[in-house]
Amino acid sequence: MAALLGRRFGMAAAALIALAALGSAASGTASKSSFVKSTVKAHDVVIFSKSYCPYCRRAKAVFKELELKKEPYVVELDQREDGWEIQDALSDMVGRRTVPQVFVHGKHLGGSDDTVEAYESGKLAKLLNIDVKEDL
């Protein structure tokens, strides 16, 4: 693209357009990053997921078990046009590209295994201020 424009408008114009494209890509990631941050802030539990992913289903099942008053806010990345960009932004933030990524009260809990582990250890219930009735 830049090469084609270079032939028509000279290299300076092509360079400017290439820089603009880079800028928009960078700002795209930045805007997705702010989307992730604002989403995480706005909800008690946020799951960044993909609808077909068995690991994501497993993480969602954990929260079903907890019978929360308010269901987790789920962002299905594969059902959004900007899913890849959100995933890139998430990757920059948490250092992992995989899904699910779970946030509780604005803090990153982790992936599927981390969520199950936190549930089984009772840590998740504590984070969500849920009374866990011990089976006597």
Let me know how many helices (H) and strands (E) the chain has, helices first.
6, 4
Is 104 within 8 Å of 127 (Cβ atoms)? yes
Of 36-65, which residues contact other proteins (CB under 8 A)?
52-55
Which lies closer to other proteins via its Cβ, residue 96 or residue 126?
96
Rg (CA), the chain: 20
Of 64-93, which residues contact other proteins (CB under 8 A)?
78, 84
Of 108-127, which residues contact other proteins (CB under 8 A)?
113
The binder of other proteins chosen from 41, 64, 80, 97 (CB under 8 A): 97
C-alpha 121/C-alpha 117 separation (Å) is 6
Which letter does DSSP use for residue 105 in this model?
T
Residues in touch with other proteins (CB under 8 A): 1, 4, 52-55, 78, 84, 95-99, 113
